[in-house]
Structure 1
Amino acid sequence: MRDQGDLLRLANSLSAHGFLTLPSQEKELEQLMGDEGKILFVLEEVASKKVIGSSLIVARHGTPVSPHLYFQVDPLRRTLQLKFETKGRTELGGLILDPAYRGGKLGKKLSYVRLYYLAQHPKGFQNDILAELLPPFNPDGSSLLWEALGKKFTGMEYRDADQRAREDKQFVRDHFPAHEILIDSLPHEAQLILGQPGPETKAVAKMLMEVGFHYLDQIDPFDGGPHYGAKQEEIKQDLVRDVLFSETKVKIEI
C-alpha cells in the first residue's frame, strides 16, 4: 500500500531520533491500519500523491488487558506515583508532519481534524480525551528520566523498553516500584524535564490548550512527557472549525 510506505518513511525518520509516535515496523503499522478501534488520518500532497503527515485517534486507551500507565505527579509533596488505569480514555496520537512542510498551518489542521471527527461521532468515543506529548530528549535520543529511573529498574535501554511496553504492560508492574518516588531524589537535570513538552511538541501543547485542554499533573513513566486532557464538552469546537475551514488549500475528506 502506497500510504503505508510513506507512513513508514515518516515514522522511521522520527524513530531514528527517538520519537516513537507511530510504529516504525511494517507489521505493526499494518496492525494499526487494520484496527477498527483506531482512526488514522493522513495528509496527502495532491500534486505528488505523497503522504506528508498523519494523526491518530485511539478510541479507548487503557483496558484491563492493556492498562494506561502514567506517573501521577503531586506538585506539593513532590512525588511520583505509578498508576494503572483500566477504564479507558480516548487518546490523540500519531501526529507527524514531514519537516519540509512545517511552518504553515498544516500541523494545526492535522491535529485539529481529530477533534472535529470526535465532535461528529461523540458516542463512538470516551468522554475523557487524552494527549500524551513527547518531552525533551538528549541529542542521541536517550531520556534523562529513563536514565535516572527506568533503566535502573529494568536494565533496558529507553527505546527497547518503550517498544516492549506497547505489547507487555506487566513488565512495568514487575519492575517499577509501587511506592511513591521522591522527585527530589532524581538528578536535577531529570527533574527539570518532568511534565515539559519537548521542542517538537511545544507547539502541540499550545494548540491543545487553545481549544480547552490542560495539563493533568500526569506524565509518561518512561520519559516524563506531559499528559494533557479535556472532556468532549470542554473542547472549543468553534475554534477547531475556524482552523480547519478558514482560508486553506487543504481538502478535508472524512
Structure 2
Amino acid sequence: MSFRIRPVTNDDFQAVYEMAKLTGGGFTNLPPDRGALVEKLVRSEEAFAREADTQSDDCFMMVLENKDTGQIRGTCQIFGQVGTKQPFYSYRITTLTQTSKELGRTFRAEMLNLVTDLESSSEVGGLFLHPGERAGGLGLLLARSRYLFIRQHRARFGPRLIAELRGVIDEAGGSAFWDAIAGKFFGMNFQEADEFNAMHGTQFIADLMPKTPIYTAMLPETARSVMGIPHPSGRAAMKMLEREGFAFESYIDIFDGGPTMIAQTDQVRTIRDAKQYRFVGTLEDWDGEQLMLSTGHLNNFRACYGYLSFEEGDRVRLDPQSAELLEIREGDTLFAIGR
C-alpha cells in the first residue's frame, strides 16, 4: 500500500479545497471556502512550527497521500485546546425531576442547557476520506494517525479528548434541530449559520443564543428525534471512536444536535497501547500481521501501514516500502500498534 499520512503543505491547497466541496455541508472543520481554508493551512503551518512543547490553541492538519501518484485523498485534524479564543459551546442534555404531592405525580423533564463544560479539551476532527478511496482501511489510518501523533507529542494535548460528529441533515441541507431552536433567534438557515461559523467562529452564538434551559418537550418531534444522533455517513466514525474508548456523555452540537464523544486522552486505546521501538534497518522477507506505524517529530511526522520484524530488545526492522513511506532512518524512534 502506497498511502501515508503527513502534515499538510501549501502545495496541497487545491486538493484539500476540492475535497471540501465534496463534504455536503455541516462539516465546519473543512469549509468549501478558499479564504477559510487558506487561514486553516496557515494556522496548521504555525502549529507544526511552534517550538514550545505545551498545550495551546493549535490546529494540526494532516493529509492522506498516495506516494506513488502524489494524489491527496483524505484529511484529518487535531486541535490542541478548544475554547481559548472564543467560547466552545455545547448543549448538555439533563433531566429535571419534579414531584407534586397534591397530584401524586412525578414528572421528569428533559432539558437542554447551553454550557462551556468542554473548554480546554483537545479535539480530533476534520476527518474526510475521498469517496473513491473508501476501502482498504484508509479511513482507519486517517483516524488513528491522530492518536499516534498525540502519543508522540503528548505534552501538547490536554487530559480530555473530544470528537464532534456531524448531526442529521436533510436532503436539502437543512437541520431540523437548528430550525427548532437557534434558527428562531438568528434569522438565518442552517447552511448560512454553518458557513458563518466556519469562517468567523462562534462569538455570534454568545451574542444571540438564549442562555436559559430549553425543555425538549417544547420542541417538535423532528428535532427531538435527531438529538445525539450522527449523520448516516458518520455512524462508522462513531463506532471507531467507541472502539478507541470514547463515549457519548449527553453533550450535543448547538447547530445540528450531533453527538460529542469524550475520552480521557491517556485511555484512548491507540495512545495507551502503541509500542515504542528503535528502527535498525529494512528486511527483504517478512510475514505476519500488518501494523499501523508512525515516526517523526512535528513536520516530519509520518504514518502508514507496514510490517515489522522484531529483534533483540526494542530493535525492529521494517519492510522497504513502509520504511520509504515513513522516510525513517536507522536509530529513529518508531511507534506501532495492531490494526
Q: Which TM-score applies when normalising by structure 2? A: 0.69
1:216 aligns with 2:249: yes
1:130 aligns with 2:162: yes
SS at 2:22's partner residue? helix
* Higher gyration radius (CA): 2
**What SS class does the counterpart of residue 10 from structure 1 fall into?**
helix
Secondary structure at the counterpart of residue 150 of structure 2: helix
Q: Aligned equivalents of 1:160 and 1:253: distance in 2?
A: 43
Aligned: 1:159 with 2:168: no
CA RMSD of aligned residues (A): 2.3
Q: Which has the larger strand fraction?
A: 2
Are the counterparts in 1 of residues 248 and 259 from structure 2 also a CA contact under 8 Å? Answer: yes
Answer yes or no: is the 8 Å Cα contact 2:249–2:261 preserved in 1.
Answer: yes
1:33 aligns with 2:53: no
> SS where residue 244 of structure 1 aligns?
strand
1:159-218 deviation digits (Å, cap 9, x = unpaired): 221232342433212322111101111111211110011111111110011011111210
Question: 1:60 — aligned with what?
Answer: 81
| Residue deviations 1:82-117 (CA, integer Å, cap 9, x gap) | 113584111111100000111331001100100111
Larger helix percent: 1
Q: How far did residue 47 of structure 1 move?
A: 2.8
Residue type at the aligned position of 1:45: N
Shift of 1:48: 2.1
State, as a whole percentage, how many aligned pairs show the same letter.
29
Given candidates 89, 93, 114, the residue that maps to 1:69 is 89
Q: Contact 2:25/2:191 (CA < 8 Å) preserved in 1?
A: no
User: Retained in 2: the 8 A contact 1:116–1:240?
Assistant: yes
SS at match of 2:194: helix
State yes or no: 1:23 paired with 2:31: yes
Q: Which amino acid aligns with 1:160?
A: E
Cα–Cα, structure 1 residues 253 and 216, in superposed 2: closer, same or farther, change >3 Å? farther
CA separation in 2, counterparts of 1:140 and 1:47?
38
Which aligned pairs between 1:1-254 and structure 2 lie closer than 5 A?
1-14=10-23, 16-35=24-43, 36=47, 37-63=58-84, 65-74=85-94, 77-85=109-117, 87-166=119-198, 167-237=200-270, 244-245=292-293, 251-252=325-326
Is the 2:26–2:194 contact (alpha carbons within 8 Å) kept by the matching residues of 1? Answer: no
- Work out the CA distance in 2 between the residues paired with 1:173 and 1:157: 18
TM-score computed with the length of structure 1 as normaliser:
0.90
Structure 1: stretches of 5+ with no match in the other structure: none
Q: Answer yes or no: is the 8 Å Cα contact 1:109–1:243 preserved in 2.
A: no
